[in-house]
Structure 1
Amino acid sequence: MVGKKASGGRGGQRKRVRTQASATAKAQSVSRMKGGRYEADLRLATEAVRLASKLCRASQLQLRENENTNQTKRDKLESPVTVADLGAQAIVSWALQNLPNSGAVTRNDGFSLVAEEDSDFLRSEEGADLRNRVVDLVNNTLRGSGLKELTEAEVLLAIDEGRSEGGSDRRHWVLDPIDGTRGFVGNRQYAIALALLDEGEPVLGVLGCPNLSLEAEDLDARTAAATSSSESSSSSQQEDGSGYLFVAEKRRGAYKVGIEIEAGSSGSDAESGAPGDILGHRISVDEVDPNDAVYMESVETKHSDHAFARKVAENSGINKDSLKLDSQVKYGVIASGKASAFMRFPDLDYKEWIWDHAAGAIIMEEAGGVVTDSEGKKLDFSKGRTLNNGNGIVAAPPKLHRKLIESIKALGR
């Protein structure tokens, strides 16, 4: 566990009590409904992803400000996306271990995090400038949330907690601090993706999607915020203007809520049955006729064979053009009924990591969808850091999923 920094003096003690009380109230407000086995974990995961979303927004704003400047190779190495990747991993790792009530979810087998980044370069002499920027970004985020700042050593240790190998034993948190790096750099969609595995199976997932709107035509929350009336206070517009969190707990459904909407706050159509009682809106996949279906795929062609996906779609009766989005945001869009399917057909030698799909898969499944490999087999997250699956990913409502798998087999993938 990442150590806590002492604060001296009465003023420091009073401040620590106030900020800890504030954080406790926020964490507790995420959950009033009892009975979920992973409820405490979900509360922590939700708040951790909120913090990381705040950090990533600040970093992407800096990236946009720098996009027209000439950058050296070193500038790109230390670019805001690199800083945000490392900072988001540090802040999620720290939050899962140190936010109020985190001790309630730590079992005898200890804390395990399977994540994408490590601090090797940061610890080198060459990485000193990047190290300082990561620490500053983390502490700016914590300071703005009323939480204690971390030392440099604590930030590096938090990042390196992500070196776990995962597996089928015990519980493992799984994190992609910025899923959709090219989307982040390109000022498009990206996600902070956090899941919990228990004996190799996803049991909860949280997706933070800071740029997502489910109402704007381009699905961009920044468009929704710019075009919505400043006098409107409807729940849907508040959510769209802030981006979304998608959350799910095994056998308790999938829900969406605005990232900036205070946990536990009421909305005109909020539902109190959400896992962790986040008072979000329950979401479900939309089983439509193939003629009305829209399938999704990655923006980057190197991530998927778009031509083959088009053949599968047409063979299944889907004639509309695909909707291309970066990252696991796609799972949230389909789980919300705003699209119908997601297909991914990478090269045969492409390696999928468990953090690429763990959070999105359980959200999709709890929304009533099906997520498998291209052979129709359930995704296996129990084999370590890499995903043990066939060549491809298919996610869709049950009936459409069957059609897509049949088409893949008929086309001989």
Structure 2
Amino acid sequence: MDSPYRRELEVALRVVEQAARLSQAVLPDTDKGAVEKENNLGPVTIGDFAIQALLTSSLHSAFPDDLFVGEEDASALRSDPVLCERVWTTLQRTVGTSSSGCVLPASPSDMCDSIDRCQNAPGTDRVWVFDPIDGTKTFLRREMYAINVALLVDGQQTISVVACPLLSPDPVEDDQNEKDAVITNDSIDPTGRGSLLFAVKGHGAYVRPLFEGKGLGVAVDAAPRRLSPATASQPLRPVTCFFLQESALDDVHRGVAEQLGVAFPGSDLLGWVPRWASLAMGRANTTVWVYRRRDRHAKIWDHAGAMLLFAETGGIVTDVDGKPIDLLAGRILNKNFGFVAAPTAESHATVLKAVHDVLRAQGKLDLLGDN
């Protein structure tokens, strides 16, 4: 790919490949060292900590003037020496630096400092954004998860690298039954290859196998496949997450699906990054997410970069108000409310109208903002 960001893409691909190896090494463990975050924000595992340390240490070594934003902090490791040692040992035994181009932290203390280097807020200039494991709850169940890395330049998605170690990289053929395209949390690639997706703004989105097969050998020589743009003639196929009542409104999502005449819940995936990957790969082509309250907002690491994959296939992404997603808002995307994504401008307008119609019909006028 010939772009001004070729080196950044090459470095990010190498590091994410190794991060995926690390995640697969941890995946079979019954005890993944999971601890609950404060404020009921879900679990974090030794895989999350180790991958964020690996990503930050390696990319900081390559691009020392860049800033970093990541989901995790090292407070649990600093207060629990046993957990810290488990994360440190995991890094040492699973990541080979001689051929991978990765740079490991120099010590457990340096590892914690690397994790905490990601506590910035996004701003102008160059900022890397990480979600070390998106879908930690499903990762604990050995189900679908993803690793998300994005480079933002002046708040614009510029590079996306996403690893989905359990998702098949194979295309869905046009004559395949639509049901075969549906991805769920337990859709595990039987070949063990997984998917590595990447994009540079203005240069398209691509996918290739992540591993050579049912081992952890990285498929570095696999040829990437450019992801095809959606067309207006394709029927809408949703991806969502059903029955997350503490977060979003299933009855609204169901109502939108009924108005559009599409399956519900369609592809059912917990993690947002696998949802964006499935949209880019054509395994689904539309998503709607309406939070329960206007003061609920998305987190940048669940979306930055991963959205670029879909955008580079021609997909349109806005919030429920029809506004572009503002990635300069901060770690929490408080300038936007929810998401509406569809494959073309025409289909996006149709889906957005359905969302507004259903909110009005269900008496949820407080969620409509200024519409």
Shared fold (TM-score, shorter chain, > 0.5): yes
CA displacement at 1:323 relative to structure 2 = 1.5
Name the CA shift for 1:311/1:222 in 2 (closer, same or farther; >3 Å): closer
Q: 2:190 aligns with which of 221, 224, 229?
A: 224
Structure 1 residue aligned with 2:334: 388
Structure 2 residue aligned with 1:410: 357
CA displacement at 1:335 relative to structure 2 = 0.9
Does residue 344 of structure 1 match 2:289? yes
CA displacement at 1:243 relative to structure 2 = 0.7
Structure 2 residue aligned with 1:83: 46
Looking at secondary structure, tell me which structure has more helix per residue.
1
Structure 1 residue aligned with 2:252: 308
> Over aligned residues, Cα RMSD in angstroms?
2.6
CA displacement at 1:264 relative to structure 2 = 5.7
Deviation readout 1:285-326 (Å, 9 max, x if unpaired): 433657x43201025513322221121122223246522012
Paired residues, number: 332
Does residue 375 of structure 1 match 2:318? no
Which structure 2 residues correspond to residues 286-365 of structure 1 after superposition, within 5 A?
Answer: 286-287=230-231, 292-299=235-242, 301=244, 302-319=246-263, 321-327=265-271, 328-348=273-293, 349-365=295-311
- Larger Rg: 1 or 2? 1
CA displacement at 1:378 relative to structure 2 = 0.6
Q: 1:209 aligns with which of 153, 164, 182?
A: 164
Does residue 94 of structure 1 match 2:40? no
CA displacement at 1:203 relative to structure 2 = 0.8
Distance 1:112 1:148 in 2: 17
CA displacement at 1:97 relative to structure 2 = 2.5
Does residue 284 of structure 1 match 2:284? no
Structure 2 residue aligned with 1:37: 4
Distance 1:45 1:214 in 2: 19
Which structure 2 residues correspond to residues 171-210 of structure 1 after superposition, within 5 A?
Answer: 171-210=126-165
The SS at the match of 2:28 is helix
Moved more, 393-402 or 354-363: 393-402
The SS at the match of 2:95 is helix
Q: 2:118 aligns with which of 148, 153, 162?
A: 162
Uncovered stretches (5+) of structure 1, i.e. residues with no partner: 1-32, 68-74, 226-240, 267-278
Uncovered stretches (5+) of structure 2, i.e. residues with no partner: 38-42, 173-179, 213-217, 361-367
Distance 2:103 2:71 in 1: 25
Distance 1:76 1:116 in 2: 15
Distance 1:318 1:196 in 2: 34
Distance 1:45 1:299 in 2: 32
Structure 2 residue aligned with 1:7: none
What percentage of aligned pairs have identical amino acids?
30
Distance 2:66 2:91 in 1: 21
Distance 1:54 1:263 in 2: 11
CA displacement at 1:410 relative to structure 2 = 2.0
In structure 2, give the amino acid aligned to 1:307: D
CA displacement at 1:159 relative to structure 2 = 0.8
Moved more, 321-330 or 300-309: 300-309
In structure 1, give the amino acid aligned to 2:318: T
CA displacement at 1:208 relative to structure 2 = 0.8
